[in-house]
Structure 1
Amino acid sequence: MARDQIDMTPLQSRDELVAWFEAGIKPPSEFRIGTEHEKTPFTLEGRQPVPYEGARGIGALLEGMQLLLGWEPIMENGSIIGLYDVTGGGAISLEPGGQFELSGAPLENVHQTQSELMAHLAQVREIATPLGIGFLGLGMTPSWSRSQIPVMPKGRYKIMTNYMPKVGQYGIDMMYRTCTVQTNLDFSSEADMVKKLRVSIALQPVATALFANSPFTEGKPNGFLSFRSEIWRDTDNARSGMLPWVFEDGMGFERWVDYALDVPMYFVKRGETYIDVAGSSFRAFFEGRNNSLPGERPTISDWANHLSTIFPEVRLKRYLEMRGADGVPWGRLPALPAFWVGLLYDNDSLDAAWDLVSHWTAAERQALRDDVPRFGFKARIKDRYLFEIAKECLKLSHAGLRRRNRVDHSGRDESRHLEPLERILEAGRTPAEEMLDKFNGDWGGSVEPVYQEYAF
């Protein structure tokens, strides 16, 4: 979520809310791939969280990036909180605890995703290294307590920080201590959206296992392979989860609108001010019944901002956003868009993936999602281990990418970006299990080595 949208047209009817989604429909020839990844900054000396303020803080890092890139600064109350590339559409933003996020530009193939990533990392290093800042590629900060982590100067995060403890035990951890990699993909019609949404929700646990990378909290194993995924199970269940109703007859944009109308809001933005409306529904606001803004009707911007505060395993905006994966080291980041592009952007693979999941019940999908943070590939659905399903998905993705046949300068198609996932399946264990083996072996019961081995 790079920046809050500005369009102050008041909304008159529910149809306009539906139309906002329909505007995302595009022909397959215009399908693009957007990749977002977060990484945790740490001080190279002492491996501590990096504050926003000061000559070696996150603010200084963003100012340096602005000078280097020439991107537009995103300001809030005099503080730089992000950067926006007017020409290409990419953006850099801050998560609540200073996690540094690149929201990539909409690109045509996964090779471009990898090039974008390499350029970004080179640019970030050029500015961050002299400031004594490094970055970690894990799904969760491995050694810091909640209280150690600084707060970024963004109004929406203040409101969320106050609200989170009311609706779940882990919301603050989600905000301040986790990192993810996401990929955003297009749809060509309402029916295409529904099919991709169903397949990707059902298979999100596969991505969670393949990318499971958050086994440590405050220096010790936390009992999970993806604690980041576990955190989402008790963050705010009114706005997250596996959305069982997506699989029911009559699913479409309207159904999503009805869901979003009833999700509690966090804030309304007026000028530079965030008005705390946490807990009241968009539906009440839409009917002029918001206590903080009596008689006022929401704008298109309010709707777009509200939709960006809904956090299910797959999120519908004007594209679909895959949200199940932990942040990982740079070598594995392009594997996430590759995995989903191969499954969802090739019709044969999409059909085969739907055949794979169509007979699962809502309860079975939920149980798989509940088990995967702890058990990874050993989670089961019906009579199958997730490991077998992951192998099948990777085959389908590989075939889809071969058929897409987007080749790089040396004639290789996008399936080469799946290699890190193929190695994981060959080894038969999640990245987190590999890390736990190191912790219990070479690392001698310390998480400190992650700051070298898993740094960008």
Structure 2
Amino acid sequence: MVMSPEVERIPVLRDRAAAARHLARICFKTGPPTLTGVELEWTVHDAADPTRPVDAARLRAALGPYAPTTLDPTSPALLLLRGGAMTVEPGGQLEISTPPHTRFAALIEATRSDAAQATRLLSAAGLTLGQAGIDPYRHPQPVIDTPRYRAMRHAFDRHGPHGRTMMYSTAGLQICLDAGQPDQLPARWRLAHTAGPPLLAAFATADRHAGRPTGWTSARMAAWWRIDPARTAPVWTPAQADRDPVAAWTAYVLAAPLLCVREAGPDWAAPPDVTFADWLDGALHRPPRVDDLEYHVSTLFPPVRPRGYLEIRYLDAQPGTDWILPLAMLSALFSDPDTTSAALDVTAPVADAWHRATRYGLRDVTLARAATGLFDLARGALPRLDLPPSLHQEIDHGLRRRRDAAERSQR
């Protein structure tokens, strides 16, 4: 590959220690926790017939100047009115990323506005947003094809059909929280993981796929777990509860197989089973650069991914505006150290119950009990989010409704 002058100026990583130092700088940026972000993702359907495929041309026409360049290389890729950026995933799923905010109410207002604008664009083209974490109607079908997506499909196909299900049929809700001060990081990192099983269970929406029940409460997460554990398994586990977060993430990144290697041509497929550590040790035709390491990190999909902040990835897409509830819940649980500590106590019995949460959801009594405790803690901490009275009441009512459902599951 002939490199441009800009690429040639990017530093080369000579050894594992250099890679570890760079990961420590970019993946856990500590400081006062002030920002909260959210990314909404949906499957997209024909409004009259949700089983009908929606192709790239129809999406391109619907989104117009807001279409991402992966969908239309000539698009100006305009931001939405409140600053949100649109992306389209390989199966045609639409994602909106609104800029993070320091005020929780401002984040809700901006994200609601961007989601409403996207809904209007699609509605004018006879399209509608899905309401679940996996497509209930259609089998997996590709809509966008790029070198990255081709390499992903090639790598995931080695492990079975689940990669295609994930790529083409699933939709998630991602919540982004600051890592916190250095002394807060271990507890926040731990809670981001231990809260995962009960929150996955409480907010699962993905039990039907391609016209039939799946047997999973969250078939979306079931697909993720079965792709490649080296890039989708949790980084934090109870067996290594006291391990330094930076050290744990560094080991995870270096041990993960390469998903793709960016080249000038259309073929980005990586050699099977070559890890980033192998690349550092000379396994490929050139040494990796800093941007290669950062790109490799973008191909890892654990339920919690450090990106300077903590990106929480285990929640299914929610119907309507229900995405506000898990966003508020997590923000409240992380709003002060005492609440975080109490939440860690509540979640300790289910800290590694990922499979049970994915399969059974709140039918698992231990998970339902932990979810109930988290709802109680979150409602008690809700005043810390400094919400306008009407929004506070709306969120509290929604959390109480979900809490009552979790409590009924225990009977």
TM-score w.r.t. the length of structure 1 is 0.79
CA-to-partner distance for each residue in 1:80-108, whole Å, 9 max, x for gaps? Answer: 5x946499864211111010001221112
- Partner Cα distance (1:289, 1:346) in 2: 46
Deviation of 1:168 (Å): 4.3
- 2:3 is matched with none
The reply to whether residue 373 of structure 1 matches residue 358 of structure 2 is: yes
- 2:63 is matched with 62
Deviation of 1:171 (Å): 1.4
Deviation of 1:272 (Å): 7.6
The reply to whether residue 50 of structure 1 matches residue 54 of structure 2 is: yes
- Partner Cα distance (2:82, 2:119) in 1: 21
The reply to whether residue 241 of structure 1 matches residue 214 of structure 2 is: no
Deviation of 1:203 (Å): 1.6
Partner amino acid for 1:78? Answer: P
From the superposition, tell whether residues 323 and 415 of structure 1 become closer, same or farther in structure 2 (CA, over 3 Å). Answer: farther
Deviation of 1:198 (Å): 1.4
The reply to whether residue 112 of structure 1 matches residue 112 of structure 2 is: no
CA contact (8 A) 1:59 1:79 kept: no
CA contact (8 A) 2:261 2:270 kept: yes
- Partner Cα distance (2:278, 2:399) in 1: 45
- 1:27 is matched with 31
Deviation of 1:178 (Å): 0.7
User: Of 1, 8, 11, which residue of structure 1 is paired with 2:10?
Assistant: 8
Deviation of 1:213 (Å): 0.6
- 2:270 is matched with 277
Partner amino acid for 1:344? Answer: F
Indicate the SS of the match to 1:269.
Answer: coil
Aligned positions, number: 397
From the superposition, tell whether residues 131 and 305 of structure 1 become closer, same or farther in structure 2 (CA, over 3 Å). Answer: same
Indicate the SS of the match to 1:257.
Answer: helix
User: Of 356, 373, 378, which residue of structure 2 is paired with 1:392?
Assistant: 373
How high is the sequence identity, in percent, across the aligned residues? 24
Indicate the SS of the match to 1:31.
Answer: coil
CA-to-partner distance for each residue in 1:357-393, whole Å, 9 max, x for gaps? Answer: 45x4xxx643x2111223211225xxxx211211111
From the superposition, tell whether residues 39 and 270 of structure 1 become closer, same or farther in structure 2 (CA, over 3 Å). Answer: same
Deviation of 1:169 (Å): 4.1
Structure 2: gaps of 5 or more residues: 1-6
From the superposition, tell whether residues 171 and 150 of structure 1 become closer, same or farther in structure 2 (CA, over 3 Å). Answer: closer
- Partner Cα distance (2:25, 2:393) in 1: 31
From the superposition, tell whether residues 132 and 86 of structure 1 become closer, same or farther in structure 2 (CA, over 3 Å). Answer: closer
Deviation of 1:418 (Å): 4.7
How large is the Cα RMSD of the aligned pairs?
A: 2.9
Deviation of 1:63 (Å): 2.5
Deviation of 1:173 (Å): 0.6
Deviation of 1:428 (Å): 4.2
The reply to whether residue 164 of structure 1 matches residue 161 of structure 2 is: no
The reply to whether residue 289 of structure 1 matches residue 279 of structure 2 is: no
Partner amino acid for 1:63? Answer: G
- 2:42 is matched with 39
CA-to-partner distance for each residue in 1:281-304, whole Å, 9 max, x for gaps? Answer: 1112223322xxx1x222222112
Deviation of 1:229 (Å): 2.0
From the superposition, tell whether residues 200 and 427 of structure 1 become closer, same or farther in structure 2 (CA, over 3 Å). Answer: same
Structure 1: gaps of 5 or more residues: 1-5, 67-72, 432-456
